A and B are shown apart, each in its own frame.
Chain A
Amino acid sequence: MLTLKSVHTFYGNIHALKGVSLHVNQGEIVTLIGANGAGKTTVLKTISGLTPAKRGSVAFEGRDITRMAAEEIVRSGISHVPEGRKVFGTLSLRDNIEMGGFIRGNKREVRADMLHFREKFPILADRWHQMAGTLSGGEQQVLAITRALMARPKLLILDEPSMGLAPLLVMETFKIIKTLREEGTTILLIEQNARAALHIADRGYVLETGKIVLQGKCQMLLEHEEVKRAYLGKGYREVWED
């Protein structure tokens, strides 16, 4: 469905991605784990067109989208929930959700979907006309995901949905992700919380300083010694110095 072939992305002079290749199949949840600054967010921004690749290619459903503008890529079926949620703070929840459906022509369907989400997520319904900037982190996350879903994406890419959330809300967010998959949405997920991500996903990639260093089924990654040590906090050897 989505294929990245040796993608190189730069921020000014900083070489952030050094030949990243990965793919996501229809119906999968794929996760990308890695330390801070490894380039996880850049991978997502390269896919959604916010920081296009300098070299290499990004293809979605057989179409080359490497040089496509972000506002066109969402029209081809990829919705990106950005890092830090980025809800429209001065707009009401309702308007945020409406803007999520900006690219859709059929107004009646958009309105029907808005009502659908309003019923599905009661925390949104309670604050329907409130400014989105006044919401808590968890509420903003649900709003950001809802906004992205309003575009009816075939592929949803999520950047650290659990960042800064209370443990209970983290579980809530992961529950939402699970239901989305059951409803047929394909998902590419970035997480700091590698354990949770590897438990929910089918396959995973490990990114280190702009390169994929490991990939495979999540079960395999969960048992991999390096992954355990570096990302799951297991198997630290204590070092004594005399």
Chain B
Amino acid sequence: MEKISLTGQLIQYIFTGITVGSIYAMVALGFNIIYNVTEIINFAQGEFVMLGGLIMVFFSAFLKLPLPLAFLLTVAVVTGVGALMERFTINPLKNATVLTMIIVTIAVSILLKGIAMFVWGKDPYIIPPFSGSEPIVILGAAIQTQTLWVLLMTAVVVVLLSLFFKKTRYGKAMLACADDPDAARLVGIKVNTMVLISFALSAAIGAVAGAIITPISLMEYDRGALLGLKGFGASVLGGLGSFYGAVVAGILLGIIESLCAGLISSGYKDAVALLLLLLVLYVRPSGLFGNVEAGKIKEF
């Protein structure tokens, strides 16, 4: 058997890291969108990823729908879940504090996890990669084709999101809400609607992440919490609310985690994100790209 060179190994780890990191980045983006509009940390963000994966399994493996259709339906369903969550748990809470609403999102995450266990059981599911299962060899490292799909979809999500926030009326209105909700209301922006859109949008991004990662890492009912935590770590590392920061920090976190798993021990893999999270909160609470001034003003 041919021995894999060290560089090959390193490249392998880094690619794995970028793949997982892209997922963290997308979770972090979801956190940031909702945080920016409402200052809520939505702890059900990881469950959106879990649901995305399992619903994708349902549509593509169980109903055997063609891949693109299954993917679009998955995103649509999870977006609906996000919207319903906002309408039934966040919207009715008039005058609630941010902390109350954060606790509500934890409740929703437990609920979603329970429902998923009920529907899909406790076993992990897998679906075949989107295109061909033959890995591509780059510089001695074997890269799964699904990795390329993950990278592509992450790029698409990031580009679409920045277009949405920079170019569209509703995207700008959401940013305006984040800047100053009262001033936004005074120009006629319905803050309620923007909050609804933020939840739907975050859910959609979570669904994309879940659907594309399932062929690589499987999906089961209780994966949401850990994914959510890692995504939250990335979001804090990048600076809460910063989209650019979320992407860089997510991928960075993925790479560090993968290198740690490969070079030290995979047992400590999950501790890396938590350690980083603690370290960032201790050393630089505003994150790598966060605005220090803004960080002081915000409640959390």
- A residues with CB within 8 A of B: 48-50, 69-72, 74-75, 79-80, 82, 86-91, 95, 98-100, 102-103, 147-148, 150-151
Nearest CB in chain B to that of A51: its residue: B182
Whether the Cβ atoms of A99 and B176 lie closer than 8 Å is yes
> Hey, what's the 0/1 contact readout for B155-195 against A, CB within 8 Å counting as 1?
00000000000000100110110111011111111110000
Cα-based distance from A90 to B182 in the complex (angstroms):
15
Whether the Cβ atoms of A102 and B187 lie closer than 8 Å is yes
Determine the chain A residues whose CB is within 8 A of the CB of B183 once the complex forms: 82, 86-88
**Tally of contacts, chain A with chain B, CB under 8 A:** 69
Whether the Cβ atoms of A90 and B178 lie closer than 8 Å is yes
Q: Which of B172, B188, B190 is packed against the most chain A CB atoms within 10 Å?
A: B188
Cα-based distance from A88 to B173 in the complex (angstroms):
10
Min CB gap A55→B, angstroms: 20
Nearest CB in chain B to that of A98: its residue: B172
Whether the Cβ atoms of B187 and A91 lie closer than 8 Å is no
Nearest CB in chain B to that of A49: its residue: B185
Whether the Cβ atoms of A103 and B178 lie closer than 8 Å is no
Determine the chain A residues whose CB is within 8 A of the CB of B185 once the complex forms: 49-50, 69-71, 74
Determine the chain B residues whose CB is within 8 A of the CB of A72 once the complex forms: 188
Whether the Cβ atoms of A147 and B187 lie closer than 8 Å is yes
Min CB gap B12→A, angstroms: 40
Whether the Cβ atoms of B188 and A151 lie closer than 8 Å is yes
In addition to A72-B188, A148-B187, 5 A-B residue pairs with Cβ atoms within 8 Å of each other are A86-B182, A88-B183, A88-B184, A102-B189, A151-B187
Whether the Cβ atoms of B187 and A74 lie closer than 8 Å is yes
Min CB gap B44→A, angstroms: 26
Min CB gap A67→B, angstroms: 15
Tell me whether A48 and B186 are in contact in the complex, defined as CB-CB below 8 angstroms, given that A86-B180, A88-B179, A90-B179 are known contacts. Answer: yes
What are 10 A-B contacts defined by CB distance under 8 Å? A69-B185, A70-B186, A71-B190, A82-B186, A88-B180, A88-B183, A91-B172, A98-B169, A99-B184, A151-B188
